[in-house]
Amino acid sequence: MDPGVAAQYAFNGLMLGVIYAMVAVGFTLFFGVLDVIQFAHGDVVMAGAFVALATSLALHALGIAVPALVVIVVACAAGLAMALVGALIARYLVLPLRAAPAFNTLLVTLMLGSILRELVRLFYPNGSNPQPFPRLLPTVSKNLGNFTLRLDSVILLVTGIATIVMVNLVVRRTRFGLAIRAVAQDSDTARSMGIDFERVVLVTFAIGSALAGIAGVVYGLYYNEVNFDIGLLLGVIGFSAAVVGGLGSIYGAILGGFLFAALQTIGSVALPVSSAYNNVFAFAVVIILMTWKPTGLIAERPSERA
Amino acid sequence: MRSHIAVAAAAFAVGGVWLWAFLSTDSVWLFASLIVVAVLAFAFFQRFDAAGRYRRALATRPRRAALFAVLAVAGVAGGLRDQAYPLLMLCTVLLFVVACIGLNIQTGYCGIVNFAGAAFFGTGAYTAAVLSAHGVPHLFAIVAGGIVAALVGSLLILPVLRTRGYYAALVTIAFGILFSTFLEVNSALGGPQGLKLPGIDLFGWRFNRDIQLGGASASFYVNYLVLSLALALAAFVFARRVERSWLGLAFDAVRLDETAAATFGIGIARAKIIAFTLGNLLCGISGATYAMMQGFIAPNNFTFGESLILVSIVILGGIGNPLGIVPAALVIIVVPQKLQFIQEYRFLLYGCLVILILLFRPEGLLPRPLRNYFPESSA
Amino acid sequence: MQRMMLTACAFALACVAAVPSMPASAKETVKIVYIGPLTGGNAALGLGGRNSADLAVQLHNADAKAKYTFDLVKLDDQCKPDIGVQVATKAGADSSIIAGITHYCSAVAIATVDTYHKFGLPVIVWGAVLPAITYGNDYPEIHRVNGTMINQNEVNAKLVTSLGYKTWVIIHDTTDYGKGHDEYFTKFLTQDGGKVLADFGVGADQQDFTAILTKVKELHPDVVYFGGLTPIGVRLRSQMDKLGIQSQFEGTSGIVSDSYIQALGPIAEGTIAFIDGAPIEKLPGGKFFLDQYAAHHYAEPPEAYGAYAFVAANLIMDAIEKVGPNRKAVTAELAKTKDHPSIVGPITFDAHGQNIVPIVTAYVVQDGKWVVWQDSDYAKGKRKLAGRK
């Protein structure tokens, strides 16, 4: 295969991987801190993308057109809005149900995801149609043989990686991150040490959801289109990635995200059948991986709930 | 005792009239008031346990109860005989009830989480489509649909056995998505264009022909209603039998506490395999029948959203209780069709409904009653 | 006591079983149904068709000499075959609906033909171009006023080969619609001397085409032909631009819509596409239609096929006026349609219920609008298409 083409495939895979990794890190954070899977996370990504879209349209209507400024405002808006949504979900749906069987929380968050999807479809103007996302990043491109490198894709890749690294730094190096890790390890002992359990949970959900919001913006800017139902597949892929990498481990989530993107890319390139089978291939591999290692590749953290 | 039975029979008759009005009315007011009546009756019976005696009386005579139910539905069918769309809705409800009874055996009895119910429903449907296109007798195609669904389920059995909780949910969700994606891209099975099916032809009696008996005529959907009713009845009886057998006891033990069940010598893997297979068998059979009734299937009919609907029906009806599935299916399938203005919002409403139920009444509409080891011996 | 109970329930059951059937529909108001994609990626065309059909009904109801008042029931098929079959079953099972104006999406229309035949509901297709919808069966209920994709692709192949292009890559969606375009375009293109380098099928909901387009980039075709609808067309064109593919992009009637241009912005410039029939302004009744449409203040424009929906509605209403609200009679009456005057010209249904539309118009996107090819700067040589000097 021509090296330029191979580079193109690799780059496409990296872009997908960064988006999946951002979603997977959210899943792993939530699981770490509360032993819960927030299935609506993928739809939070979608909601973030729509908030970004609405904000950019509002800014456009107000006459503000400097692209760099618009991008920053839009990203902040999406991140903050989703942080709020995440905190609300934690406060009113997840925390009250933590004594109930795990199945109930699973279902509640699944249904919540469905509700978010329907709310956008029904109440956003023309919600059921695919929405064009504004092109806010410079589209300068450079051709290296068969490989086209575009500035906007590079910016998105760098942003994605930067946000994940930042979240990792917060968790590993700050005092609050220490509190998160303490709660994740043993919430009862953490409480007896004086850590405010509820506050930690709310802020963790906020952080994870803000990350999801920014992932939504990256998605929108990369594909130049958002749709109300992108959340379902993103959520399942993010969850698979987090699980494969080992729930509770941020590095595992990142690994899982890039692994899934690699599977999809390999599936669309190397298989003898049509490239549309890439999702089938990727999910089949995930199921096989789960069978072989039921609790993921990296960490052995069984999800036992009393 | 006999008067209890008689009153129960009268209750079924009234229920039949209610169902007929529920399905055939075009007036939103009448429909809303029927719902209000049902809710009030339900609340009344819950509060005062007025139905306790009659329920116990019927429980000792299951065949009588089944007869009343069949007569009531037959009466409804007679009343609806030439209205095609209400008949179609009733058939759909009954077939979904069969699929949900299958899911109930998996989740409610044995505790296996299955978010790929629509995939097995779809397997049955596509099997029936392929077989009937090749001239296989339709009754066999329907049964084969169930068997193939059970076989496809066996692909998933190893992951399901080895995973717990969220991981098991992920495995079934991934499988569901894999299934619908596979159907979309595979052109041998029609791809996104779907497949067409002929109407059922059972020993020469073509189901897709309107029935003419003397001067009276009835819509051809009555044929499908008879078949669906037979299937639903068989599924009920089957589920009841399983529940009351040693197998059902094993399922409950596995669901409640695997470790304890294992120490009593119950084979966990065996129980789960049997439950999973039985459930998929029922899903497949109802899927095959549904496909032949609709005459057309496409990958879009069997997505994750449909799996969620099946799970919602089971949750709403009361996990573990097959009887609860009927009112739950009526609510989830018929109400949005009738109240056109909520048709658009129906997924939103399902979601809110399930969340409310899980927050405030997790047992569902008709909670599963305690296991009754010794039937009531006196009136 | 129990005797009375038993008698009571027997009586109740007997009452229920003896209830007479629902009353027949009233004579004065007749229901006809419009089915099209009112939501989803092709909603613009579905809404344009809906408004046009509605316009026809309103104009007819305003006519004092009409015998019947018509009520247009509007159903949404979401451009999905399964939803289409569901709503078609609903319409067919409702005996008060006498006839239908159906479908823009070919994938839906081909799936529903059996349903309409099952219920004996006469329908006239207004926007779907797959030939098999009328020619693939012998159902008397199915008719169509717009053209099929055969002519479209024939004219298409001739025009683009005359522009000097030599090599093509064909991308099509995997529904019967996309496959039909693939089949006919390949046939006519190879007849006219073009060379097809590769052929790709894509799913109707596919988001990411970077894998396929990377392969296309390797092949360096002169033109990329797309047989499919607007949502995928938009994504393909946008991702082609992202990957730096310089080939000319062309499509079929499926992408001739304002939403294509709106979604792509300046990237849409230079796309070529084709539609059966003349542009609305040049139709015999075109000006009348556009004036009336504007006077009724609809929120959405009629789009490419609105005029055909208008014609279909009028044909149905004229037939019902003549023979009364009876499905069988209307089916028989529609079969006799010959040189029936309409805003798109005289309508004649052949033995398969198909109307022959003689003209195919070529369009190109110029400055954010679909411009007729002959009138465009590209045809006159003032601007250059991709890859041409």
In terms of Cα–Cα distance, which of C99, C132, C108 is closest to C45? C108
Find, in chain C, the residue whose alpha carbon is nearest to that of B25: C22
The answer to whether residue A268 sits within a structural domain is: no
Inter-chain touch C174–B7, beta carbons under 8 Å: no
Identify the closest residue of chain A to B108 by CA–CA distance.
Answer: A103
Predicted confidence band at C185 (pLDDT cuts at 50, 70, 90)?
very high
Strands of the C195-202 sheet, one edge to the other: C195-202, C167-173, C223-227, C248-251, C272-276, C360-366, C369-372
From residue B190, give the alpha-carbon distance in Å to each of A166, B135, C63, C174, C212.
47, 18, 47, 9, 22
- Considering only CB atoms, A240 lies closest to which of B156, B170, B358, namely B170
* Spatial contact of C293 and C55, defined as CB atoms under 8 Å apart: yes
Q: Is C64 on the interface with B (CB under 8 A)?
A: no
CB-count exposure of residue C22 (10 Å: 0-12, 13-18, 19+):
middle
Task: Report pTM.
Answer: 0.86
How far is residue B90's CA from residue B84's CA, in Å, rounded to a whole number?
A: 10
CA distances in angstroms from A80 to A69, A164, A199, A200, listed in the order given:
16, 16, 17, 17
CA distance linking residue C133 with residue B317, whole number of Å = 43
ipTM of this complex: 0.85
**How remote is the C-alpha of C324 from its chain's centroid?**
27
Q: For residue B168, what pLDDT is reported?
A: 84
Report helix, strand or coil for C93: helix
Question: C25 vs A286, which has greater pLDDT?
Answer: A286
Containing structural domain, residue A119: 7-231
Residues of B within 8 A of C17 (CB-CB) are: 75, 78-79
For C2-147+280-358, give the CATH class: alpha beta
**pLDDT score of C16:** 45
Residue C356 touches chain B, beta carbons under 8 Å: no
Q: Name every chain C residue with its beta carbon within 8 A of the beta carbon of B6.
A: 1-2, 5-6, 9
* pLDDT reported for residue C25: 41
Stretches in chain A below the pLDDT threshold 70: 1, 273-275, 298-306
Give the whole-angstrom CA distance, residue C65 versus residue B126. 52
C85 touches chain B (CB under 8 A): yes
Helical (H) or strand (E) element with B281: helix B268-294
CB atoms < 10 A from the CB of B212, how many? Answer: 9
Cβ within 8 Å, pair C173-B192: yes
* Residue-wise pLDDT tens digits, A278-290: 888 888 988 888 8
Cβ burial of A177 (10 Å; 0-12, 13-18, 19+) is middle
Fold classification of C150-276+361-375 is: Rossmann fold (3.40.50)
Q: Are C278 and C359 in contact (CB under 8 A)?
A: yes
Which residues in chain C touch residue A230, judged by CB atoms under 8 angstroms apart? Answer: 207
A265, part of any domain:
no
CA of A128: how far to CAs of A40, A226, A239, in Å? 19, 10, 25
Q: Hey, are the CB atoms on B304 and A232 less than 8 Å from each other? A: yes
**The two structure tokens encoding residue B362:** 């997790």
3-class SS at B364? coil
Beta strands in chain A (DSSP E): 131-132, 141-144, 147-150, 225-226
Contact residues on chain C for A150, CB-CB shorter than 8 A: 242, 244
Rounded distance, CA B232 to CA A239, Å?
A: 37
Within 8 A by CB and 6+ apart from A158, the residues are none
| Cα–Cα–Cα angle for B159, B164, B165, rounded to 5 degrees | 125
Q: Which two tokens stand for residue A50?
A: 């729509």
Q: Where is C360: in which H helix or E strand?
A: strand C360-366
Q: What does the CA dihedral A8, A10, A16, A17 come to, rounded to 10 degrees?
A: -160
pLDDT of residue B175: 92
| Residue ranges of chain B with per-residue pLDDT less than 50 | 377-379
Q: Is C126 helix (H, G, I), strand (E, B) or coil?
A: coil
Q: Which residues pair with C123 in a beta bridge?
A: C100, C142
Give the span between the Cα atoms of A110 and A115, in whole angstroms.
9
At residue C176, the pLDDT reads 87
Least confident of B227-231, B358-362, C24-28, C160-164: C24-28
Kindly determine whether residue C202 and residue A276, on different chains, have CB atoms separated by under 8 Å. yes
Query: Residue C112's closest CA among C94, C95, C128, C97?
Result: C128
B341 interface with A at CB cutoff 8 Å? no
C265 φ/ψ sector (left φ>0, alpha ψ -120 to 50, else beta):
left
> Which helix (H) or strand (E) element contains residue B58?
helix B52-59
| Token couple for C298 | 């609809």
Cα of B66 to nearest chain A Cα, Å: 33
Backbone φ and ψ of C170, nearest 5°: -105, 125
Position C24 confidence tier, pLDDT thresholds 50, 70, 90: very low
**C17 close to B (CB below 8 A):** yes
Total length of chain C? 389
How many CA atoms within 13 Å lie on the side-chain side of C278?
Answer: 12
Establish if A273 belongs to a structural domain.
Answer: no
Q: Is C244's CB within 8 Å of A148's CB?
A: yes
Q: What is the pLDDT of residue B261?
A: 92
Task: Assess if residue A247 is contained within a domain.
Answer: no
How many Å separate Cα B238 from the centre of its chain?
13
d(CA A101, CA B329): 24
Looking at the structure of chain A, the number of domains it has is 1
pLDDT score for C23:
44
Interchain contact B361–A (C-beta under 8 A): no
Taking the CA atoms of residue B160, residue B165, residue B169 and residue B175 in that order, the dihedral angle to the nearest 10 degrees is -20
In the prediction, which pLDDT does C15 show?
46
Neighbour tally for C267: CB within 10 Å = 20
Residues of B in Cβ contact (< 8 Å) with C15: 17
pLDDT of residue C21: 42
- Residues C43-60: tens digit of each pLDDT: 888 999 999 999 999 999
Q: Is pLDDT of C243 > 70?
A: yes
Q: Find, among C208, C259, C261, the residue nearest to C236 by Cα.
A: C208
Structure-token pair, residue B31: 């429909």
Q: Which residues belong to CATH 3.40.50.2300 in chain C?
A: 2-147+280-358, 150-276+361-375
